[in-house]
């Protein structure tokens, strides 16, 4: 049994799960197909479940799906494994033990493991088994701590950034929650903002520099 299977994850089950998820919420499978993880870094099913839950708390379902619904949780895990948002940057030499104990072999923080432990600690039990309201309150408190005055670097910021990316670059987030137009054709420099106005996820300047 290899490392991935030991953690309850394999390519087949992963894609199978993705397919079931896609079928359940009517999304194209293409939205959540992605490259394999290294076997020894594959996320566990619990991590996938937790990341999906947390993503849904950050961007809940309204008249459009939430971030968990569209597979942002899996995207976060993929992004963390592949260095998005500088997630494979080595921990600093003076990193606290609370982070250093979750270091990967390359010296970077394993944010998925850290988040599991952090939320379980805050819940004082299994985070996934507390009520939805309690889960939301715990994530809100974590978010507040991560952006508190004087805090410049916090692993939650990395996770949250990837949740946002996973959502707003998905078809439901990018083209239904926001507007998406690959070929605008024209540029209108002064358009009144109305209650119906929605931002364009295809405003690349805003995405890159806003």
Question: What does the binding site for another protein look like in residue numbers (CB under 8 A)?
Answer: 30-31, 33-35, 57-60, 62, 75, 78-79, 81-88, 136, 139-140, 143-144, 146-147, 157, 160-161, 164-166, 168-171, 174-175, 177-178, 180-193, 197-210
State the residue for tokens 């707003």.
168
- Least Å distance, CB 2 to another protein, is 21
- Least Å distance, CB 1 to another protein, is 26
Cα separation of 145 and 163, whole Å? Answer: 18
Q: Which is nearer to another protein, 46 or 82 (CB)?
A: 82
Helix, strand or coil for residue 45?
A: helix
16 burial (CB, 10 Å; 0-12 / 13-18 / 19+) is: exposed
Q: Which is nearer to another protein, 1 or 148 (CB)?
A: 148
- Least Å distance, CB 194 to another protein, is 10
- Least Å distance, CB 100 to another protein, is 21
Helix, strand or coil for residue 171?
A: helix
Radius of gyration of the chain (CA): 18
Cα separation of 102 and 3, whole Å? Answer: 18
CB 202 within 8 A of CB 182: yes
Q: Which is nearer to another protein, 47 or 87 (CB)?
A: 87
Q: Which is nearer to another protein, 6 or 199 (CB)?
A: 199
State the residue for tokens 């999304």.
27
CB 137 within 8 A of CB 124: no
- Least Å distance, CB 125 to another protein, is 21
């Amino acid at each position: 049994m290899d490392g991935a299977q030991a953690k309850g994850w394999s390519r087949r089950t992963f894609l199978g799960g993705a397919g079931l998820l896609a079928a359940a919420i009517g999304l194209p499978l293409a939205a959540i197909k992605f490259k394999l993880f290294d076997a020894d870094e594959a996320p566990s099913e619990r991590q996938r479940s937790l990341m999906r839950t947390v993503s849904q708390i950050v961007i809940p379902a309204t008249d459009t799906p939430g971030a968990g619904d569209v597979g942002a949780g899996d995207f976060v895990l993929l992004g963390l494994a592949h260095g998005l948002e500088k997630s494979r940057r080595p921990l600093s030499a003076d990193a606290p033990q609370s982070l250093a104990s979750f270091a990967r072999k390359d010296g970077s923080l394993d944010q998925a493991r850290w988040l599991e432990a952090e939320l379980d600690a805050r819940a004082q039990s299994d985070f996934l088994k507390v009520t939805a309201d309690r889960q939301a309150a715990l994530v809100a408190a974590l978010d507040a701590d991560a952006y508190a005055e004087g805090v410049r670097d916090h692993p939650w910021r990395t996770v949250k950034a990837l949740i946002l990316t996973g959502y707003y670059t998905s078809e439901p987030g990018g083209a239904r929650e926001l507007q998406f137009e690959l070929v605008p054709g024209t540029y209108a420099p002064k358009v009144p903002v109305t209650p119906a106005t929605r931002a364009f996820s295809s405003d690349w300047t805003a995405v890159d520099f806003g």
